[in-house]
Amino acid sequence: MSALELRSLQKRYGEVVALRDVDLTVRRGEVFGFLGPNGAGKSTTIDIVLDYVRPTDGTATVFGLDAQQEGERLRQRVGALPDMRLFGHLTARQHVQFVADAKGCDDDPVALLDRVGLGRVVDYTADGFSTGMGQRLKLAMALVGAPDLLVLDEPSTGLDPNGAREMRDIVREENARGATVFFSSHILEQVEAVCDRVGILSDGEIVAEDSIENLRDATGTQATLVVSVDSLTERAVAAVRDLEDVSDVVADENRVRVTCPDERKAAVVDAVRTDDATVLDIESDDASLERLFATYTGGLR
Ligand SMILES: Nc1ncnc2c1ncn2[C@@H]1O[C@H](COP(=O)(O)OP(=O)(O)OP(=O)(O)O)[C@@H](O)[C@H]1O
């Protein structure tokens, strides 16, 4: 049985078609990235999965439980980080305790708050929290009861780079203990760093569902690679230029920049080392990921 199944899901708000026809399967134990530009329908999909919103047509099931029919049982097994307001007059501890009581579990709020980096403010009220602290608190609430499925809607919102990294670490830890993670974002690097597979939603429809690697192969999306060495010879540059599928070769004193498919990166590094140069640094930019996203969502063709 899969962790999450969406079948022919449709949602209209009056004239606005938020979801056209969404079919998606998230397997048990995977970290699945749910990608899409603003307004694509990600939040609507998540709200339907959590039964905050009813679909116009189609079904959403979590571990075989129908979101509309068995919402209460379903929520027992799910931890969600929705874009929900916190209660300013309640402390961090009270927020987590509230979820623990609702789920009927005896998790220690302080341990959970410690895990998300709020160990020192457990008795502070949420009204003084920054956006990032609020986001951490919502994550602690999502972790209550060691859920089988974690649904994280834009979890990195408001987090600084350290916070974003800690969020990724927690996603990995949760996945390692067996949780399936469904992770929505429009920040591609975040998704690539933790996700096994991704689904790309565009204009209310899934336009791609695969590993990022396979999607790259399918679209022939190229990466930019910069190799820095201790000394660069003309022979080495010529060897790089001779490589198949490698283009836009630019060389300066001790660096070579090229455009190539992922699977040619190793050949480029080998060629740069033709005269036994020592590799000092290898950089590969994320532009390829941006292009991949744009290819599927209509930003670039
Ligand atoms: N309550 C609502 N009433 C009317 N239209 C809505 C409502 N909620 C969402 N929509 C519309 O449905 C579409 C999908 O919105 P949704 O918030 O699901 O997208 P999203 O992918 O989560 O976007 P974002 O990345 O900006 O959060 C948009 O056109 C939005 O304006």
The rounded average pLDDT for each run of 10 residues, N- to C-terminus, in the chain (301 residues) is 95 95 96 91 93 95 95 91 82 95 93 96 95 93 96 87 88 96 84 88 91 77 87 94 92 91 88 93 73 72 38
Task: Mark whether 189 and 231 lie in a shared domain.
Answer: no
In one letter, which amino acid is 109?
A: P
Give the binding-site residues of ligand 1, using a 6 Å CB cut-off: 13, 16, 18, 36, 38-44, 186
One domain, residues 225 and 201: no
CATH (domain of 284): 3.30.70.100
Say which residue the tokens 């874009």 belong to: 83
CA-83 nearest atom, ligand 1? 27
From atom 30 of ligand 1, which residue's Cα is the shortest distance away?
A: 39
Closest CA to 31 of 177, 132, 140: 177
Question: CA Rg, the chain, in Å?
Answer: 23
pLDDT at 139: 94
Question: Do 48 and 54 meet the contact criterion of CB atoms below 8 Å apart?
Answer: yes
Q: 39 and 93 in one domain?
A: yes
Interior/surface letters 90-116, b for 16+ CB within 10 angstroms, e for the rest: bbbbebbbebbeebeeebebbebbebb
Question: Which residue spans within the chain are E strands per DSSP?
Answer: 4-13, 16-26, 31-35, 57-62, 65-66, 78-81, 149-153, 180-185, 197-202, 205-210, 223-229, 247-251, 255-260, 279-284
User: Are the CB atoms for 4 and 60 separated by under 8 Å?
Assistant: yes
One domain for residues 206 and 251: no
- Beta strands per DSSP E along 102-193: 149-153, 180-185
User: Which residue's C-alpha comes closest to atom 4 of ligand 1?
Assistant: 13
Number of domains in the chain: 2
Q: What is d(CA 42, CA 151) in angstroms, rounded to the nearest whole number? A: 11
- Going 222 to 226 to 227 to 231, the CA torsion angle's sign is positive
Q: Which residues, 6+ apart, have CB-to-CB distance to 124 below 8 Å?
A: 91, 92
Pocket test of ligand 1: the residue of 9, 20, 42 to mutate, having most ligand atoms within 8 Å of its CB, is 42
Q: Give the separation between CA 133 and CA 139, rounded to whole angstroms.
A: 10
Question: What's the pLDDT score for residue 84?
Answer: 63
In the Cβ-directed half-sphere of 190, how many Cα atoms lie within 13 Å? 27
Whether residue 48 is found in the same domain as residue 189: yes
Nearest CA to ligand 1 atom 24: 38
Provide the CATH number for the domain around residue 51.
Answer: 3.40.50.300
Indicate if 273 and 211 belong to the same structural domain. Answer: no
Residue range(s) defining the domain that contains residue 290: 220-297
- How many CA atoms, within 13 angstroms, populate the side-chain half-sphere of residue 164? 15
Residue 108 pLDDT: 96
Mean pLDDT of the chain: 90
Residues 188 and 83 in one domain: yes
Residues 200 and 273 in one domain: no
Q: Are residues 151 and 282 in the same domain?
A: no
Q: Are residues 28 and 121 in the same domain?
A: yes
- Tell me phi and psi for residue 211, to 5 degrees: -75, 155
Beta bridge partners of 12: 17
Distance 70 CA to ligand 1 centre (A): 25
Determine the distance separating the centroid of ligand 1 and the alpha carbon of 206, expressed in angstroms. Answer: 15
Residue 85 CA to residue 127 CA, distance in Å, equals 11
Single out the residue in 159, 187, 216 at which a domain terminates: 216
Supply the DSSP symbol for 118.
-
Q: Is 63 left (phi over 0), alpha (psi -120 to 50) or beta?
A: left
Distance from Cα 35 to the centre of ligand 1, integer Å: 14
Domain boundary, last residue among 185, 216, 247: 216
Domain boundary among 184, 216, 248: 216
* Residue whose CA is at the smallest distance from ligand 1 atom 26: 38
CA angle 30, 198, 226 (to 5 degrees): 110
| 185 and 270 housed in the same domain | no
Report the C-alpha gap between 216 and 289 in whole angstroms.
8
Which residue's CA lies nearest to atom 5 of ligand 1? 13
Rounded-to-integer distance, Cα 150 and Cα 172, Å: 11
Give backbone dihedrals phi and psi of 184, rounded to 5 degrees, phi first.
-95, 145
- Say whether both 30 and 127 belong to one domain: yes
